[in-house]
A and B are shown apart, each in its own frame.
Chain A
Amino acid sequence: MIQQERMSVVRQEQIAKNIYEIVLQGKIVQDANPGQFVHVRVSDSYEPLLRRPISIANINKEANEFTLIYRAEGRGTEILSQKQIGDEVNVLGPLGNGFPVDAVPEKGVALLVGGGIGVPPLYELSKQLNKLGVRTIHVFGFATEDVTFYEDKFSSLGETHYVTVDGSFGSKGFVTDLLEELSPEFDTFYACGPLPMLRALEGFYPNKKGYLSFEERMGCGIGACFACVCKTTDKVEKDYVKVCYDGPVFEKGVVKL
């Protein structure tokens, strides 16, 4: 169920250059699933006006807490990055459809591919897959070393590879270069990151089951404003999908890339 709630800030920390990790506490946590997002109002006034959609990186239902990882790069996220422990943040969510964790066969292998700020939702996904006995392989690309994060956390869950555009951390190049080199064996892939990366993955693994999480500029976050629509392929009946409502995770082949 979608709720609007004033969640309290339990912790906030800068974990890489301009990358922040904020832990929020509230009832919304109980309904959250990996790959879903929340729509965050960073101010109680109407300036800045719109909410910020941020994916859920880690869910702790026992403590009623979840973690959001975001890049402070505009007015809204900069204000969010200044929130202190005990502050309240108006959150709408959980929103959208997340990653299906049951899309990997028993004792199977999942390949998780992420690019930059698309990596965070894959953390909760990896945790839940591992809990189900799925082996996870993580292949993540970043621009430079100073914006990388969570390498230790992902490594503790499974085989983990990092690649940076300038080669400052891990290998040099894009995730697709690394995937070509590794040619991993797996059953299902899950990905979140920039469009060119998602497009390349669909081409790489035409015969594998895959789920892609999309990012698009949003207005309302609940499907009403038609800001985040994407055209679909001929394979689906609908002419378009809304990233906020029908996604952000789609099975590969649904969204026209």
Chain B
Amino acid sequence: MSNISIQLPGLDLKNPIMPASGCFGFGKEFARLYDLSKLGAIMIKATTVEPRFGNPTPRVAETPAGMLNAIGLQNPGLEKVMSEELPWLERFDVPIIANVAGSLLEDYVDVARRISTASNVKALELNISCPNVKHGGITFGTDPVIARQLVEAVKAVSKVPVYVKLSPNVTNIVEIAQAVEIAGADGITMINTLIGMRLDERTGKPVIANGTGGLSGPAVKPVALRMVYEVYKAVEIPIIGMGGVTCAQDVIDFMSAGASAVAVGTANFVDPFVCPTIIDELPKKLDELGVKSIKSIIGRSHR
């Protein structure tokens, strides 16, 4: 059987599969279904300084082979994540990647400083790409200068490696990737959702209360794959790829394009067992390809 373990800054992964932030809550719901220790890592839901309720409903709408969401970073706030959610996750043998969000640069710094001290948080994921909040989020991820400032500020306080989650809603994603690399980011996670809209057939008005939402699911995979492919060529730091992953072949595709690990997002909503299923499938798929160690396929599209 192929070896599927992967080592990344701060992360010793049993396998390269992890649920994506926002698609897995803080793990509790899925822990009723399977042992979370099976996962390579868990990217927990974005955490902000204060608790947030999020956007009005409807917050989701289905689209061809995909869905739009505008949840609005609903989360219980830093205090509760530190005192309840993270300690609860300690029962599992799995590294946590804490997704950090905020409205102002100071918010990111405050969350990063505290959350990076939790014993099971092995890395941060800076959310500079949420398309569904009025302040913060994507505004930090679409300008290379602002992105660089934010990453530098967070790097200065974080006790663990810092990954930056990039938005696909930019003209040139390579430019942002390079900016965060220069700022000292330890890795990149990509992509967040693509801003989209669906209209109600009768009224002609947007279905989602927020108007727009972030598109995810199999529909975005070609876009995500192209972006990972481009960024891999331009940076030295590792990439955790995501966007429409539903099966082991998708994981192999993202790793071939240049990802060192892969996150599974929307597919968790369709098949809550999708992550363990992929983890079981992956070694078999690699055996079929005659691959001994998964590391050897990273970036093979470029060779």
Q: Please report A residues at the B interface, Cβ cutoff 8 Å.
A: 2, 4, 41, 46-51, 76, 92, 216-231, 239-240, 245
Closest chain-B Cβ to A195's Cβ sits at a distance in Å of: 11
A-B contact pairs, 22 of them (CB 8 A): A46-B246, A49-B67, A49-B217, A49-B270, A50-B60, A76-B62, A216-B57, A216-B58, A217-B57, A217-B58, A220-B269, A222-B29, A224-B25, A224-B29, A224-B269, A225-B22, A225-B23, A226-B25, A226-B54, A226-B71, A240-B74, A245-B29
**Best-surrounded residue of A4, A41, A218, A219 (most CB of chain B within 10 A):** A219
- Residues of the A chain whose Cβ atoms lie less than 8 Å from the Cβ of B269: 50-51, 219-221, 224-225
Closest chain-A Cβ to B266's Cβ sits at a distance in Å of: 7
19 more contacts with CB within 8 A, not counting A217-B58, A229-B57, are: A4-B273, A41-B270, A46-B270, A47-B64, A49-B65, A49-B217, A51-B269, A51-B270, A216-B58, A218-B60, A222-B29, A222-B32, A225-B71, A226-B25, A226-B59, A227-B59, A229-B53, A229-B54, A231-B53
Chain B residues touching A, majority SS = loop
- Residues of the A chain whose Cβ atoms lie less than 8 Å from the Cβ of B211: none
- For chain B, residues 13 to 59, give those with C-beta under 8 angstroms from any C-beta of chain A: 22-25, 28-30, 32-33, 51, 53-54, 57-59
Q: Please report B residues at the A interface, Cβ cutoff 8 Å.
A: 22-25, 28-30, 32-33, 51, 53-54, 57-67, 69, 71, 74, 217-218, 246, 266-273
Are A227 and B24 neighbours in the complex by a CB distance under 8 Å?
Answer: no
Closest chain-B Cβ to A142's Cβ sits at a distance in Å of: 20
Closest chain-A Cβ to B203's Cβ sits at a distance in Å of: 16
- Residues of the B chain whose Cβ atoms lie less than 8 Å from the Cβ of A92: 272
A217: nearest chain-B partner, CB-CB: B58
Closest chain-A Cβ to B170's Cβ sits at a distance in Å of: 25
Are A224 and B270 neighbours in the complex by a CB distance under 8 Å?
Answer: no
Closest chain-B Cβ to A80's Cβ sits at a distance in Å of: 14
Are A49 and B66 neighbours in the complex by a CB distance under 8 Å?
Answer: yes
Closest chain-B Cβ to A94's Cβ sits at a distance in Å of: 13
Cα distance A222–B19 when bound, in Å? 15
Cα distance A53–B74 when bound, in Å? 22
Cα distance A223–B25 when bound, in Å? 8
- Residues of the B chain whose Cβ atoms lie less than 8 Å from the Cβ of A218: 60
Given contacts A225-B69, A226-B74, contact A217 B217 (CB under 8 A): no
Are A240 and B266 neighbours in the complex by a CB distance under 8 Å?
Answer: no
Are B24 and A50 neighbours in the complex by a CB distance under 8 Å?
Answer: no
B273: nearest chain-A partner, CB-CB: A4
Are A227 and B57 neighbours in the complex by a CB distance under 8 Å?
Answer: yes
